[in-house]
Amino acid sequence: MPDRYIKKILEARVYDVAVETPLDEARGLSERLNNRVLLKREDEQPVFSFKIRGAYNKMIQLSEAERQRGVIAASAGNHAQGLAMAAQKLGVNATIVMPKTTPEVKVNNVRRYGGNVILHGDAFDAANAHAKELVEERGLTYVHPFDDPDVIAGQGTVAMELLRQESGPINAIFVPVGGGGLLAGVSAYVKYLRPDTKVIGVESSESASMHAALAAGERVTLDQVGIFADGVAVAQVGQYTFEVAQKYVDEVITVSIDEICAAVKDIYDDTRSICEPSGALAVAGMKKFVEREQCTDSTMIAISSGANVNFDRLRHIAERSELGENREAIIAVKIPERPGSFKQFCSDLGKRNITEFNYRYANDEDAQIFVGVQLTPGPDARSELLSDLKGSDYKVIDLSDNEMAKLHVRYMVGGRAPASVDNEILYRFEFPERPGALMNFLSKLGGRWNISMFHYRNHGAAYGRVLVGLQVPADEHDKVSEFLDDIGYNYWEETDNPAYKLFLG
């Protein structure tokens, strides 16, 4: 089997449309991980993904009769773009069945290359079943996105390039895994030429079909597949790809959504390019491997496999990246309901910065607050935070791994004030964002009036933004502006804001 794939990879026709992508050193990651980290930049392909390699290599192998019938494929997006571009280059009609959940940027790019797009199902497997139905109905030529020797050989040219680009010892190569085409091509080629180099697949924990298959010793079908990393959302790996992986892959690592988001940020910091979630899998897996093995001074390569991400997803990715890097903890804390308790809590945090603070008055005794806290680097930082707070007699619940809390509750904390809250006025503040800024704000605000609502989130901008509800007796309203002017921050009164009256007042 290896000889068969090596010959196919060496003879693969990919450079009519694909380019040889660079192998760049990720200096920031290298410094942080104490290893030499290289990124194989497949996000720089014409379709922003490695998939053009396998798609074109398969297309060029088809007979004239097969091309004349037109080609069809199912794809979550990247294979679709590669096949559409290959078909346009060769003058072949292409029909692509894509899940309805496919990011719009991928759908639009397929159409730009002249592909006929059919949206069907919620994930790859439903789209794939429909594509095979159309093969029977219309006599189209089916081009599988991963489970085909010619597709595998096309993807294997990634390994051919990176081994030529890095002639020195390579400790490990990390490869994103969906159906397994890239993993199969890379592992077959690398193990043939450099058997001592580890080849490690990386899957999203929401779609870990290769990990499950290797553990079971046979291909399995997942009951459910998450689509956050849509490019690898596959319920069952291919037959050809599984056979290769069984022989040549050292292991498969699974990573969480938060870890993927952190890897997107890592790649951005080093390259200024924005990978899609599946494109950042290899970096996420590499970081997990280094932490587990405590290896240093090694050369490691991660394949940055794609950059087809909808712009509107970036907000969610950015929100979760700090959690994935273990640089932030999300906690629920009970503090006394009395003036000055916010300030005392911030003081008890020590030098840790607050990244988020959500609170709404509930009763006269206790305040339940939702807090984000910046952590210092290190695996024990979160447990140390919890231990310190509990040592100061706070009742604390760690919500950092609570998916509902991170997705929904953080945006819903608050609601309308109970009937016992009266004389509430609302102010929006803006202040320079710097370490200790929130503590400074609370110190200046002091305990003159009771805080009945508080919302703050550090967005990494130049200015911090805070929304505060204060219980101020009617005869002291005229003193508030004078007091706030002395604090020196920009502020606006929002008591008459309709959004406040509808949802918070």
Q: Which of 8, 40, 49, 51 is catalytic?
A: 51
Predicted model pTM:
0.83
The dotted CATH code for 52-142 is 3.40.50.1100
Q: For residue 241, give the nearest of 295, 194, 177, 297 by alpha carbon.
A: 177
Respond yes or no: is residue 51 known to be catalytic. yes
List the one residue out of 390, 382, 335 whose CA is nearest residue 357.
335
Q: Give the residues across from 399 on adjacent strands.
A: none
Which CATH number is correct for 326-503, 3.40.1360.10, 3.40.1020.10, 3.40.47.10, 3.40.390.30?
A: 3.40.1020.10
Q: Is 247 a catalytic residue?
A: no
CB 210 within 8 A of CB 235: no
The C-alpha atoms of residue 99 and residue 248 are separated, in whole angstroms, by: 31
What pLDDT shows up at residue 17? 95
2-49+149-322 matches 326-503 in fold: no
Q: Which secondary-structure segment (H or E) carries 105? A: helix 104-112
Paired with 491 in beta bridges are: 429
Provide the 8-state DSSP code for 280: G
State the fold for domain 2-49+149-322.
Answer: Rossmann fold (3.40.50)
Per-residue pLDDT of the chain (505 residues; tens, 9 = 90+): 557 899 999 999 999 999 999 999 999 999 999 999 999 999 999 999 999 999 999 999 999 999 999 999 988 778 999 999 999 999 999 999 988 888 888 888 899 999 999 999 888 888 989 999 999 999 999 999 999 999 999 999 999 999 999 999 999 999 999 999 999 999 999 999 999 999 999 999 999 999 999 999 999 999 988 888 988 989 999 999 999 999 999 999 999 999 999 999 999 999 999 999 999 999 999 999 999 999 999 999 999 999 988 887 888 888 888 888 888 899 989 988 887 888 888 888 888 888 888 888 777 788 888 888 888 877 788 999 999 999 889 999 998 888 878 877 777 677 777 777 788 898 888 777 666 667 777 777 766 788 888 888 766 666 677 888 888 888 888 888 888 887 778 888 898 888 788 777 7
Q: Alpha-carbon torsion 434, 438, 439, 442, what sign?
A: positive
pLDDT at 286: 98
Q: Where are the beta strands (DSSP E) in 306-420?
A: 328-336, 354-360, 366-374, 395-398
Q: What is the largest CA-CA distance in the chain?
A: 88
Round to whole Å and give the CA distance between 486 and 503: 30
Sheet containing 463-471: which strands, arranged edge to edge? 395-398, 328-336, 366-374, 354-360, 450-457, 463-471, 424-432, 490-493
- Residues 384 and 231: their CA atoms lie apart, in Å, by 37
Q: Are 378 and 433 in contact (CB under 8 A)?
A: no
Which residue among 75, 204, 278, 305 is the active-site one? 305
Write down the H helix ranges in 217-310: 239-248, 257-271, 281-293
Looking up tokens 């072949």 gives: 92
Cα(49)–Cα(265) distance, integer angstroms: 18
pLDDT at residue 251, as a whole number? 98
For 379-412, give the DSSP string: TTHHHHHHHHHHHTT-EEEE-TT-HHIIIIIHHH
Return the domain boundaries, the chain: 2-49+149-322, 52-142, 326-503
Spatial distance between the Cα atoms of 400 and 87, rounded to a whole number of angstroms: 46
Strand, coil or helix: what is 127? Answer: helix
